[in-house]
Structure 1
Amino acid sequence: MLKQNLSFRLSQKLSPQQIQLMKMIQLPTQAFEQRISQELEENPALEGGKEESEDYDDEFNNDEYDDNYDDEGNEVIETDINVDDYLSDDEVPSYKLSANNYSADDEERQMPYAAGTSFTQHLMQQLSTYRLDDEEEEIAQFLVGSVDESGYIRREIRDIVDDLAFTQNVYTTENKVEKVLKIVQELDPAGVAARNLQECLLIQLERKEHTPSVSLAIDIIDNSFDHFSKKHYKKLIQKFDITEDQLRDAIHEIEGLNPKPGGTYSGNNRIVEHVVPDFAIKIIDGELDLTLNGRNAPELHVSHDYTNMLKGYKESKDKSKAQKDAVMFIKQKLDAAKWFIDAIKQRQQTLFVTMNSIMHHQEEYFLSGDERKLKPMILKDIADKINMDVSTVSRVANSKYVDTPYGTKLIKEFFSESMKNDQGEDVSTKEIKKILEITISEENKRKPLTDDKLAKILLEKGYPIARRTIAKYREQLDLPVARLRKEI
């Protein structure tokens, strides 16, 4: 049974322009420049660069258009739009009177396109120098096409045999594929087309001059790879009846190998992401100085051609329907241009206010560069200070970089949760991680510290942390367990 009822509900919805503004705030510098280029292409009323006429005012009214009629019901076009609101030149626009502290940026803005030979093409070119029959050539090309970015073929031979039959109409055997694989593994860089790390290291060692250290390294990787990967050095010494010095020399040979041969190809045509800092922080006379990248403050103005069109409409005595439609189009473009210019100003202000608050909250860190002086800081801390929504602060923090005296940093890296030390004070989890990292770096690598011992050391330093928390922070720092940090 269907029922209808009337209910009142109070809800808040974002307008399309508010949504666009939020998206614009989230954009980093390079994406923001692309957004400006797109708007300049789509809106002919908007122009970039300095304005030629210094007395032009682009502050215009945004009133909605209403049709007007006289007493006899005839349309009166002259009063449709107050053209003077768009043409007034009595006062200079505010954006020309305001100064900014945006840093100049004279760097080349055009991003060069990568060109050259791909990794697969590089291997194919080498393959053409081998004498192979038709079947071997098809198998070899298929194997090269199966090499991933790291330089490995991570598939079983039997699966490759099946794929050759189904996709290439090549019916062969596992032995034949194994034979061709050995040829492909002769290509450069050394270790390419290996099926696992063990095979990759062996291929590279076999190409070296077989000195006693290299021969021992081959024996270790070939016959005791599991002991080596788990750093069971005592078992290796006993098994191969060698001294610590001999083992150390063999390990030195292995450590000089490349576990990802595909990553070393200089002509690899990968897209390299260039980071353009959105802010810059400098220390001037012991004080922090914040500037917004000048590329975030473009010079935009309304087109003079559109202004002249409005002047022509105002001065015209006989106003036709076609002129009215043209003026309505002009009004829409002028309104869009005004909103876009205002949105850019609001974006600049939001970015600067947010980063300025972050900078002063972490003043001790920015003055010293010591990560142990990072204070606990969450998004709400900054949002409360600048009276903005948490989501706005998140948009600024997640996608923006700041150039500091200590390197270019992602802003969200300055945010962290808090923990209590033994004195009941709130300390940043980043401070604890930094102390943990320093402690591990200073340990005796012959007897690395276990997580239990690390927990006791941090407790002595005033940080009561459980062993499982130590393990979590260690993993976040990409540090292995004590056994894998052991050296001889």
Structure 2
Amino acid sequence: MLKQSLQQKLQQKLSPQQIQLMKLIQLPTQALEERIQEELEANPALDEGREEEDVRDDLDRNEDDYNDQNDDQRDDDFDIDQYLSDDEIPEYRLHANNYSADDDDERIPLAGGTSFVETLRTQLGMRSLSEEDFKIAFYLVGNIDDDGYLRRELQDVVDDLAFTQGIYTDLEHLEVLLKVIQDLDPPGVGARSLQECLSLQLRKRTSTESVQLAQSIIDHHFDEFVKKHFEKLMDRLDIVEDQLRSALNEISRLNPKPGNSVSDGSKPTENITPDFLISIEDGELRLKLNGKNAPELNISREYKTMLEHYRDSKGQATKSEKDALMFVKQKIDAAKWFIDAIRQRQQTLLLTMSTIMEFQEEYFLTGDERKLKPMILKDIAEKIDMDISTVSRVASNKYVQTPYGTHIIKSFFSESMKNSEGEDVSTREIKKILEDSIGEENKKKPLTDEALAKLLKEKGYPIARRTVAKYREQLGIPVARLRKEL
């Protein structure tokens, strides 16, 4: 049976402007610079930098005459004086204190040197190879990755040479040319596995008893070496502990990623731009927003002049000029909104980060991770009376520079656990104690996860063995067997 009824529903929807503001808040500093540049290019009514002169305040205001004479084009909501008033279009000077644009280095830092592949190909040119062999070796070098390994199957390379280069060869000949490449510097280049990489490096070492023993371990007992079965190695090689220790020391000096030893000048150096700066002055914390988050933006003087000209015409403008006026109005509206959105972003970022700084004051004053308090997004959202999603956007992909290094803001958030005294402690604090405990263990007999759980319980942190294993993995620490040393 069909039935009609009225129903009231309260529903909250974000306006397009609010959505754009949320997106601006989420942007890290470098992405914000790009977004501002895009807006400057898209909206000619928006200018960067300070205005050279103020807008005149003594312009004649005759908006009533304008409305009377232009009923066909009147817009009751459009007050030209509103768009020309200094009070309504303030010059937002959003620079942080003690900040100068001259302090920023706008250049992208580049690592110097020759690229890895270029280095290898230069060395190839010094080898006595036929023209065809040089082309094959040249192509083979191009398949070596940044770590220095050849991870492609040689049969695939044979096929590629035939189809793309018109060069026909076979696996045996490719193996011969690969050995030529493996003889290049850095040692270990062109290896197809870690075992082969370490073996190639040892062959280039001065032959001593320790090096020969290390070569035998890598070539014939690699599985026992990886699993750190030291007793098996000593038994099978018929050696004592001191001899094994000397051989392992030789292996520890090898480079598992030989390609990293060659500078690649084509890649930009990773450069993190902190969004916030925290310093300690006279024993108190000071927070500043990176100046790049606070650009000077204003309404274009040229667009203001266009409005002045139209108002002074006292309604004598042509239809095309009136159409242009509406276009100018739209652009100025968009520019005003963007300027205000940047200001709101700045205020939101500062409010949120200052609350985080106050919440974790002990940590920021000492740098001791054990001083970090349990803190979740909700804790900060309630203090600043904002939505959790807003706090999440502020913390997302943003960094803070502290006296103890630059950290991603998300790292200061952690769940809480109860210690033996019933107090809430941060999981970060537990991870730090776990890391310290592993650092202090006897490497000949590393602590198992069960032993670590027992040790933490004795220190007042009753957590299960599986939780210890989870935290250990999150810290990137291997299991006890792989931490074993002689």
Normalised to the residue count of structure 1, the TM-score between the two structures is 0.90
CA separation of 1:330 and 1:249: change in aligned 2, threshold 3 A = same
Say whether the 8 Å CA contact 2:438–2:447 is kept in structure 1: yes
Q: Secondary structure at the match of 1:419?
A: strand
When structure 1 is superposed on structure 2, of 189-198 and 42-51 the one drifting more is: 42-51
Q: 1:391-406, aligned counterparts within 5 Å?
A: 391-406=389-404
**CA separation in 2, counterparts of 1:162 and 1:112?**
40
Q: Secondary structure at the match of 1:446?
A: coil
Partner of 2:175: 178
**CA separation in 2, counterparts of 1:80 and 1:460?**
72
Say whether the 8 Å CA contact 1:78–1:319 is kept in structure 2: no
**CA separation in 1, counterparts of 2:302 and 2:5?**
52
Return the letter of the residue paired with 1:288. L
Say whether the 8 Å CA contact 2:111–2:265 is kept in structure 1: no
**CA separation in 2, counterparts of 1:90 and 1:426?**
51
Partner of 1:240: 237
Partner of 1:165: 162
Instruction: Report deviation, 1:269.
Output: 2.2
CA separation of 1:87 and 1:158: change in aligned 2, threshold 3 A = closer
Q: Does 1:154 align with 2:115?
A: no
Say whether the 8 Å CA contact 1:69–1:75 is kept in structure 2: no
**CA separation in 2, counterparts of 1:140 and 1:180?**
6
Q: Does 1:455 align with 2:467?
A: no
Instruction: Report deviation, 1:7.
Output: 8.1
CA separation of 1:86 and 1:205: change in aligned 2, threshold 3 A = same
Return the letter of the residue paired with 1:286. G
Return the letter of the residue paired with 1:334. I
Structure 2 residue ranges without an equivalent (≥5): 58-65
Structure with bigger RCO (C-alpha 8 Å, 6+ apart): 2
Superimposed CA distance per residue, residues 162-185 of structure 1 (whole angstroms, 9 cap, x where no aligned partner): 443344443332211111110111
Instruction: Report deviation, 1:35.
Output: 1.5
Partner of 1:360: 358
Instruction: Report deviation, 1:89.
Output: 4.6
2:127 to 119, 127, 130: 130
Partner of 1:38: 38
Q: 1:265-414, aligned counterparts within 5 Å?
A: 265-317=262-314, 318-414=316-412
Partner of 1:445: 443
Instruction: Report deviation, 1:380.
Output: 1.2
CA separation of 1:191 and 1:76: change in aligned 2, threshold 3 A = closer
Partner of 2:14: 14
Partner of 1:225: 222
Instruction: Report deviation, 1:242.
Output: 2.1
Q: 1:44-83, aligned counterparts within 5 Å?
A: 44-54=44-54, 75=72, 81-83=78-80
When structure 1 is superposed on structure 2, of 9-18 and 400-409 the one drifting more is: 9-18
**CA separation in 2, counterparts of 1:241 and 1:262?**
35
CA separation of 1:107 and 1:91: change in aligned 2, threshold 3 A = closer
Partner of 2:260: 263
Say whether the 8 Å CA contact 1:102–1:291 is kept in structure 2: no
Identity %: 61
**CA separation in 1, counterparts of 2:413 and 2:257?**
34
Say whether the 8 Å CA contact 1:280–1:291 is kept in structure 2: yes
RMSD: 2.7
CA separation of 1:184 and 1:309: change in aligned 2, threshold 3 A = same
Instruction: Report deviation, 1:133.
Output: 2.6
2:250 to 253, 256, 279: 253
Q: Secondary structure at the match of 1:399?
A: coil
Partner of 1:23: 23
Instruction: Report deviation, 1:86.
Output: 1.4
Superimposed CA distance per residue, residues 280-322 of structure 1 (whole angstroms, 9 cap, x where no aligned partner): 1112222211111122111111121111111111111421101
Instruction: Report deviation, 1:42.
Output: 1.9
Q: Secondary structure at the match of 1:462?
A: coil
Instruction: Report deviation, 1:396.
Output: 1.1
Superimposed CA distance per residue, residues 365-411 of structure 1 (whole angstroms, 9 cap, x where no aligned partner): 11111101111111111111111111111111121111111111110
Say whether the 8 Å CA contact 2:211–2:247 is kept in structure 1: yes
Say whether the 8 Å CA contact 2:280–2:286 is kept in structure 1: yes
Report the count of equivalent residues: 474
Say whether the 8 Å CA contact 1:354–1:386 is kept in structure 2: yes
Q: Does 1:420 align with 2:453?
A: no
